Structure 1
Amino acid sequence: MKIAALNKDGKSVLGVHIESGIIDIEQALKAVPASHDVPVDVEQFIHGGPTARAALREYVDQLLSEQDIAQQADFMVDESEVSFGPCVANPQKIICVGLNYRQHAIETGSAIPTVPILFNKFANALAAHREEVVLPDVSNKIDYEAELAIVIGREAKNVSKQEALNYVLGYCNSNDLSARDLQMKTPQWMLGKTCDQFCPIGPYLVTTDEIPNPNGLKIRSIVNGEVRQDSNTADMIFYCDEIISYISQHMTLMPGDIILTGTPEGVVMGYPPEKQVYLQDGDVVTIEIEHLGKLTNRMVKK
């Protein structure tokens, strides 16, 4: 399933993306009551465990099989009309992996890591698909980073590499926006990584049944229509199962936690100094990962 958070009447409701649009689950339940409790927002979907997820899947199947096109109009929303929220709204943790693509490490002149390099963002950094991202006044070197994000589905502590992917709920596009001047002020990267809106995610949380191999996905970033990054998650140094297992040896991962898995080559910081043009007011950045849709944000200066 492709799960979306829909901003509607001042609250967030659950949407399910299908080929013909997005099902507004709250509206659907008014038209077609369910025989079981069905999650009505993303938090319930994440924290309700397998029971809630199975109930939603069964209900969506019922809607699509039993309702004719005219009835579906009562609860189908055209995606162009949707106001999206972040596809995960309240993570306990946002953990990021630095220099995790071999070619990105090479372009920045960095040594190939021998263990995952971890840093963090906070929930203030979350932003949604089509949300305008305000460029902070404290930096003039804002960079884009296309990244595959892992969303954890159940508590994970000391899990093995072999079992790690069983703890994943799904995946989504993310943009690890980075203020390079702030990032490089000190050996600690956090300041340049977690400014407000510096972690757009979405538009969907795509469940694992649709992504059997997260380490073989095409990944791109596009700035104002120009492809800047064009790679594959196969270039990761540490694959998703290794990352999850490694982190879980040091801290307990909880449902809804987000892990950003690193970015490929092609970021502004990797260009020769004379060719470095960082994000400006009005720039439009799209992150596109195979099977996960497209995450688009416009940068604005206020």
Structure 2
Amino acid sequence: MKIARINDSKFQETYALVSDDGKRLVTRQEIQEQTGIPVPPSIKDFMFNGWLDEVRKSKDRLTFKHKVEEADLLVPIPNPPKIVCLAFNYYDHARDAGLTPSDEPVIFLKPRTALNKPYGEVHCPSFVTRLDYEAELAVIIGKQAKKLSEEEALDCVFGYMIFHDVSARDIQFKDKQFTRGKGIDTFAPCGPWITTKDEVPDPQNLMITTKVNSETRQNSSSSNMVLSIRRIISGLTRTMTLEPGDIISTGTPAGVAMSMKEPRYLKNGDVVEIAIERLGTIRHKILFQ
């Protein structure tokens, strides 16, 4: 199923289920009215405490009344405990950067304040001179996990979404680490919703594309990952406890601006569109301030 976080008609935060085709939705209140299930106000409680499983049994009773395009979609999960991002986890991206991929997850943490709506504007400080895009497949953790084997790793996954790891390369290169250049407010648009793992039978075989002003810049597949999602989760849980609501963004494929012979960084007014097979599309305008 697809779970979205939205503002309702009174501009109050709530959540909704999205139809299989991604075009219509039914709100929390309507889910309760149509099924008689007293679903909780919190989207985290709904997803991680068994309520979604109860609603799934009554899915045939749901009427998806509203057009998704008319909804104000929010960041799918509020206040995740951690946002863990992988660096150089695609063979083609690592090759373009002249690097040899690691056999362990090379990670950095992105602050929650960087999260942005799937169609929200990216507000870039005017002093940034090399703004880049990175389309990524993100994993949403559904239950606490520690020291998992690769065989067990997907058991803790709740679902998947699109994640845009917007990057200020000039800051990144100056600092020689990633946090400041990738942690600016609004630098993590994501969504458009969370798709549960049962709808993604093979997360290692999803097409990933990025367009800037309708021009394709990235066109790859999650099959090109160096470390699979199983290996990422297993590797992370050897050193840290994963918690429900954690986001793991699994790296970006080739085609980013910094790897071009003549880099074409993002400019004021550019529109970035990222699509991942089975997960939908996010789109946002770049505004320098």
- TM norm. shorter chain > 0.5: yes
- 1:64-143 matched pairs, under 5 angstroms: 72=63, 76-143=65-132
Q: Distance in 2 between matches of 1:234 and 1:47?
A: 28
Match of residue 55 from structure 2: 56
CA shift digits 1:216-275 (9 cap, x unpaired): 111111111011000010100000000001111111000000000000000001101xx2
Cα distance in 2 for residues equivalent to 1:258 and 1:251: 13
The Cα of 1:136 is off from its aligned counterpart by 1.7
2:228 is aligned, of 232, 239, 243, to 239
Answer yes or no: is 1:15 the counterpart of 2:16.
yes
The question of whether the paired residues in 1 share the 8 Å contact of 2:90 and 2:252 is answered with yes
Aligned length: 286
Alignment of 1:184-263 (within 5 A): 184-263=173-252
| Contact kept in structure 2, 1:95 and 1:120, CA below 8 Å | yes
Work out which of the residue numbers 290, 297, 300 in structure 1 matches 2:277.
290
Structure 2 Cα separation of the partners of residues 279 and 43 of structure 1: 34
Q: Deviations for 1:107-158, whole angstroms, at most 9, x for unmatched residues?
A: 1112222322110101101011111111122312110000000000000001
Offset from partner CA, 1:160-180 (integer Å, 9 cap, x none): 110000100000011010000
Equivalent position SS for 1:80: helix
Could you list the structure 1 runs, at least 4 aligned residues long, displaced by more than 6 angstroms after superposition: none
CA contact (8 A) 1:98 1:118 kept: yes
Give the secondary structure class of the aligned counterpart of 2:238: helix
- Residue 87 of structure 1 aligns to which amino acid in structure 2? P
RMSD of the TM alignment (CA)? Answer: 1.5
Shift of 1:25: 2.2
Q: Tell me which moved more, 127-136 or 98-107.
A: 127-136
Aligned to 1:67: none
Secondary structure, counterpart of 1:231 in structure 2: strand
Task: Tell me if structure 1 keeps the 8 A contact 2:142–2:243.
Answer: yes
Please give the TM-score of this superposition, normalised by the length of structure 1.
0.91
Cα distance in 2 for residues equivalent to 1:28 and 1:244: 33
Q: Secondary structure at 1:184's aligned position in 2?
A: helix
Q: Which moved more, 1:227-236 or 1:188-197?
A: 188-197
Larger displacement relative to structure 2 (263-272 or 185-194):
185-194
1:146, 1:171 → 2: CA distance? 13
3-state SS, counterpart of residue 242 of structure 1: helix
> Which ranges of structure 2 fall in alignment gaps of 5 or more residues?
none
Residue pair 2:76, 2:190 contacting (<8 A) in 1 also: yes
What one-letter code is carried by the residue in structure 2 that aligns with 1:178?
A: S
1:280 to 267, 276, 288: 267
User: What code does the residue aligned with 2:276 have?
Assistant: I
Q: 2:28 aligns with which of 2, 25, 29?
A: 25
Tell me, in whole angstroms, the C-alpha distance in 2 between the residues paired with 1:224 and 1:140: 19
- Write the distance in 2 (CA, Å) between the matches of 1:27 and 1:137: 44
Q: Distance in 2 between matches of 1:118 and 1:37?
A: 40
Query: Which TM-score applies when normalising by structure 2?
Result: 0.95
Q: Does the 8 A contact of 1:121 with 1:190 survive in 2? A: yes
> Quick check: 1:201–1:295 contact (8 Å CA) kept in 2?
yes
Per-residue CA shift, 1:192-239, capped at 9, x if unaligned? 111101111100100000011111111111111011000010100000
1:60 to 1:12, Cα distance in 2 relative to 1, 3 A: farther
The sequence identity of aligned pairs, in percent, is 37
